[in-house]
A and B are shown apart, each in its own frame.
Chain A
Amino acid sequence: MYDIAIIGGGPAGYVAAITAARSGKQVVLIEKKELGGTCLNEGCMPTKALLECADTYQHVLHAERFGIEKAADHVQVNWAKINAYKQSIVQKLTGGVHYLMKRNQVQVIRGSAAFENERALLVETANGTSKIEAEKFIVTTGAEPIALPFAPFDGEWIMHSSHFLSLETPPPVLVIVGGGVIGCEFASVYSRLGSQVVIAEMAEQLLPGEDPDIAAFLERSLKQQGVQIHLSSSVEALDRTTRTARIRTPEGTAEIKADAVLVAIGRKPRLDGLLLERAGVKATARGIEVNEQMQTSQPHIFAAGDACGGIQLAHVAFHEGEVAARNACGEEAMLNLRAVPRCIYTSPEVASVGLTERQAREKYAGLLVGEFPFSANGKAMILQETAGKVKVLVEPTYHEIVGITLVGARATELIGQAALMMHAEMTADAMENFIAPHPTLSEILTEAVRGALGHAIHG
């Protein structure tokens, strides 16, 4: 009999496990595959490793811009080594999670769990099925890619992001279905590593949900990198035998011969086989229903992360996992999603926190907008990364900073400062005397905040 049983060892699950164990609880964590979940094994981390490879490759290719000449004009991508590097990162990180489990005395069981009733789980392991009973449960099973209704994944031609990451070499021609975060990131990485990439997105812009000006900026940059982008377009058919994708675009139908198709149209909660109904836990297609304490319809069962839908980001899962565990331990903790940064690792990067301009204009008349271009920043010139801008949204009455969006080099690092401003409920005037380090890209942020009140210095 455990105090707390956690199903799923991804970001929500392992943080919940550590949190609960540190409160002195007996914790068991059941994981079907590898600790670390999608983020560490098939998502954030390996893709960012690839991205760094793409960046480095581009840097070396264009080193002349900095006066560095190569003796022989031959630079090549060694995919075996890239994969080994990527794998070594993943191993280090998952190893770290294993270590944390051990140090906090969390028992890890490798197997798949299903509820027998509201007090017990049946866990299928390599050594047979065992029953695990616990006082409290936390469900953190994550999410999985959604397939096109007419073209199930085959892992060979029609792939999702996880399939893709295990490819030994990149496809020469790649069709990506969906121009959201995942689609854009893969397009950016593979186009810069030499693939010819075509994106088909149903909405009128890439990154639906972010502001049109930001999406348009990314669209221009991707096109410059050679990515073909079809907006307001949908994939009508995927013909496996001829390896052809038929895409309906506003201009007509296009047929594209592709070596691989990446379907990135969204992710759905992974709840199959859990038998939640036996435990009396309510769930819909959007995920397990939870309140602000991450409590399900069964008061002693909690859920966190992508399994309960909402914002599918690892850092949200960390927070939810912690909130769920603290409540399961009898403390009181509330979900606080006031300032969740959103990072998109394309080239240039896109990052935002708080409201988009569209949302802010709906909420506040006379919204103040401060913009500042990377091209007016000295450090950006030095980096030769002058494409991009920051946009700061300030509400007119109290001058509270209600949203910040960045597109440009290192945007995902810079957004940390922006998230801090939002988390602390800063007002733009409170930032007036702020001293930004010079010369850094972060000066851009300070200038834009001041610009919102009409006080930019270098603008």
Chain B
Amino acid sequence: MAENIIMPKLGMAMVEGTVIAWKKREGEAVKKGEGIVDISSEKIEMEVEAAADGVLLKIEVPAGGVVPYGTVLGVIGQPGELAATPAVVAEAHAKAESAATLATADGQSAATGTSAGASIAATAVLERPRDGVKISPVARKIAEEAGFDFTTIAGTGPQGRITKEDVERAIKAAQETAAPPTAAQAAPVAIAVETSERAADRAAESQPERIPVAGMRKVIAERMYQSLQQSAQLTITMQADITELLQLKEKLSPEIESRYQLKPSVTDWIARAVVLALAKHKQMNSALLDDRIELYDDIHLGVAVALDKGLVVPVVRHAGKMTLVELSRQLKSVSARAKQNQLAPEEMKGSTFTITNLGSYGVDTFTPVLNPPETGILGIGAAKDTPVFVGDELQRRSLLPLSLTFDHRVLDGAPAAAFLATVRSYLEAPHSLLI
């Protein structure tokens, strides 16, 4: 969101101020807290600091300009963001004006004080209109992130303090009233084409359940949207014949179970194949960060686990150094703990490649969304018994659909396909997974 730089009021007597010099040019990056423009009143000079990180989008008042306090001097925002409209400018002006009467103490300290004192005063002027409201820190944050004007909320805390609960309730109420066609709005249209009875039915039906996007859902929503927005992802699919793998798994299961008290699942075998393929194709075990591609030697395998509340991706670190049995044990451990909500935050970050399995839901192929900033994610579908020509003979084979999404910014179709083919060749020569 664009942030206006405003001529502060320095002291009670100040009516207007002068822009002495801009320290940044339009288009230049600025950091929060960095001085960007020197201004002066009749008595003192001070530096106005940037209130946010971003780019100086526009200078409204060039050096030498004399303007009343509250005037927008310039705008900070993200590149491409529109500059403030006149309405915003007017509003900011009005806010600063309403604050003027409150500024006595700060004004005096600014008039006599150092430039540090003055810059504090300037900030205080900008925030003053909201300062009179009693609100808890977390309530303020929730309101601000939702873009909700908390000055309108009646607080229920001690001495009318606005609590977290108050804000949550107010935001929910606002969402409900602002929601599309309410019964009253929908009714006139409905009556024109339907009987009033049916219109009433429709009105009654048109109250969807509204769930605020918060907590885990919010994190997932942001990350997935960011993933699709900020990478060039596409999906290729391939089928692997896992008939032999299933036979081998069947054969080894009792032995592995008696030796390790463990039953590796098909996913565990596939994970092992993926890890081996990643070791061969480092380009896939990578991330594009800012202006560079990082290739990783260590393979930290993310595995998507569905919980009631949403999806989490716990990470098995150094999966490349594990045998099938070790990998299986780790995968089982993280997914079991994910389901009991017992994962430490560190166990959910740092993956270099992710696998996701929708096979148990009967899905064949799909387009997994990259887990940023990773380059690849492999979707596992449901294996199906299919008649396949082996030479001239039709045989019953189990075919496993694999869906690989990769970031085309990092690598092209051919190397991605080569990676997927390597995964397939490991799956089709399952003994190799045991070494």
Q: Which A residues are within 8 Å of any B CB, using their own CB? A: 334, 361-362, 364-369, 396-400, 424-427, 430
Contacts and interface: CB of A to CB of B under 8 A. Distances in A.
A367 B137 CA distance: 19
A312 B203 CA distance: 49
Nearest to B220: A365
B137 A430 contact: yes
A361 B342 contact: yes
B138 A366 contact: no
29 contacts: A334-B156, A361-B341, A361-B342, A362-B341, A364-B215, A365-B309, A365-B310, A365-B341, A366-B216, A366-B219, A366-B345, A366-B348, A369-B344, A369-B345, A397-B215, A397-B218, A398-B138, A398-B141, A398-B145, A400-B137, A400-B164, A424-B137, A425-B136, A425-B139, A425-B163, A426-B136, A426-B138, A427-B141, A430-B137
B87 to A, nearest CB: 30
Most buried by B among A361, A365, A400, A424: A365
A368 B348 CA distance: 12
B345 A367 contact: yes
A398 B307 CA distance: 22
Contact of A425 (B137, B145, B216): B137
B345 A368 contact: yes
Interface in B299-358: 307, 309-310, 312, 341-342, 344-345, 348
B214 interface: yes
A369 B342 CA distance: 13
A424 B161 CA distance: 10
B190 interface: no
Given A369-B344, A425-B139, A425-B164, 6 more contacts: A368-B345, A396-B219, A397-B218, A398-B141, A424-B137, A427-B141
Contact of A398 (B142, B156, B309, B344): B142
A364 to B, nearest CB: 7
B342 A427 contact: no
A365 B312 contact: yes
Contacts of A426: 136-138
A399 B144 CA distance: 14
Interface string B190-207: 000000000000000000
Interface in B225-252: none
A399 B310 CA distance: 20
Contacts, number: 50
Contacts of A361: 341-342
Interface string B101-121: 000000000000000000000
A366 B345 CA distance: 5
- Top 3 closest pairs, chain A to chain B, by CB: A425-B136, A400-B138, A430-B137
B214 A397 contact: yes
A427 B136 CA distance: 9
Contacts of B139: 425
A50 to B, nearest CB: 36
A79 B388 CA distance: 90
Q: Is the interface of A mostly helix, strand, loop or mixed?
A: loop
A424 B145 CA distance: 19
Interface in B37-65: none
A430 B145 CA distance: 15
A396 B218 CA distance: 11
Contacts of A399: 141
A425 B345 CA distance: 23
A45 to B, nearest CB: 28
Nearest to A360: B341
Contacts of B214: 397
A400 B137 CA distance: 8
Interface in B375-421: none
Contacts of B145: 398
Contacts of B141: 398-400, 427
A64 to B, nearest CB: 42
A427 B219 contact: no
A88 B341 CA distance: 50
A359 B141 CA distance: 23
A427 B138 contact: yes
A365 B136 CA distance: 23
B51 to A, nearest CB: 16
Most buried by A among B142, B214, B218, B309: B142
Contacts of A396: 219
A128 to B, nearest CB: 46
A334 B156 CA distance: 10
Most buried by A among B156, B310, B341, B344: B341
Contact of B136 (A362, A364, A369, A424): A424
Contacts of A334: 156
B300 to A, nearest CB: 17
Nearest to B215: A397
A291 B312 CA distance: 39
Nearest to B345: A366
Contacts of A364: 215
Contact of B138 (A367, A369, A425): A425
Contacts of A397: 214-215, 218-219
A367 B309 CA distance: 15
A267 B142 CA distance: 40
A73 B214 CA distance: 65
A6 B252 CA distance: 75
A45 B226 CA distance: 58
Interface in B273-321: 307, 309-310, 312
Contacts of A425: 136-139, 163-164
A397 B218 CA distance: 9
Nearest to B310: A365
B220 to A, nearest CB: 10
A426 B141 CA distance: 10
A426 B161 CA distance: 13
B292 to A, nearest CB: 24
Contacts of B310: 365
Nearest to A401: B138
A395 to B, nearest CB: 8
A108 B139 CA distance: 44
Most buried by B among A361, A367, A398, A424: A398
A433 to B, nearest CB: 13
Contacts of A430: 137
B362 to A, nearest CB: 27
A366 B219 CA distance: 10
Contacts of B341: 361-362, 365
Nearest to A398: B141
A398 B164 CA distance: 11
A343 B310 CA distance: 36
Nearest to A400: B138
A362 B342 CA distance: 8
Nearest to A424: B136
A400 B139 CA distance: 9
B267 to A, nearest CB: 22
Contacts of B164: 400, 425
Nearest to B217: A365
A400 B216 CA distance: 15
Most buried by A among B145, B310, B345: B345
Nearest to B344: A369
B217 to A, nearest CB: 10
B324 to A, nearest CB: 30
A337 B431 CA distance: 61
B170 to A, nearest CB: 15
Nearest to A395: B215
B215 A365 contact: yes
Contacts of A366: 216, 219, 345, 348
A430 B136 CA distance: 10
Nearest to A365: B216
Interface string B247-271: 0000000000000000000000000
Interface string B135-155: 011110110010000000000
A398 B345 CA distance: 16
